[in-house]
Amino acid sequence: MGADTDDGTGSDVGTDTDDGTDTDVGTDTDDGTDADDGADADDGADTDDGTDTNHSTRGDAQSGGDMAQYAVMIFERETPGGAADLPPEVIEEHIALPDRVAELGGRIVAGLALEPSGTATAIRGREVVTDGPFIESKEAIAGVFVLEARDLDHALALAKLTPIVDGGVEVRPLVDFQVVES
Which whole-number Å values give the CA distances from 106 to 17, 42, 68, 160, in the listed order?
A: 22, 21, 10, 13
Mean residue pLDDT across the chain? 73
pLDDT digits (tens, 9 = 90+) for 61-70: 334 457 999 9
Residue 35 pLDDT more than 80? no
The pTM score is: 0.63
The predicted structure's pLDDT at residue 65: 57
The predicted structure's pLDDT at residue 24: 36
Q: 154 falls in which pLDDT band (50, 70, 90)?
A: very high
Measured distance CA(161)–CA(100) in Å, rounded: 8
Residue 112 pLDDT more than 80? yes
Measured distance CA(61)–CA(154) in Å, rounded: 15
Count CA atoms closer than 13 A to 52's CA, side-chain side: 34
Q: 82 falls in which pLDDT band (50, 70, 90)?
A: confident
Residue 107 pLDDT more than 50? yes
Q: Specify the range with the lowest mean pLDDT, choosing from 19-23, 129-133, 155-159.
A: 19-23
User: Of the CATH numbers 3.90.180.10, 3.40.50.720, 3.30.70.1060, 2.170.8.10, which one belongs to the domain with range 68-173?
Assistant: 3.30.70.1060
Q: 36 falls in which pLDDT band (50, 70, 90)?
A: very low
CATH 3.30.70.1060 occupies which residues in the chain? 68-173
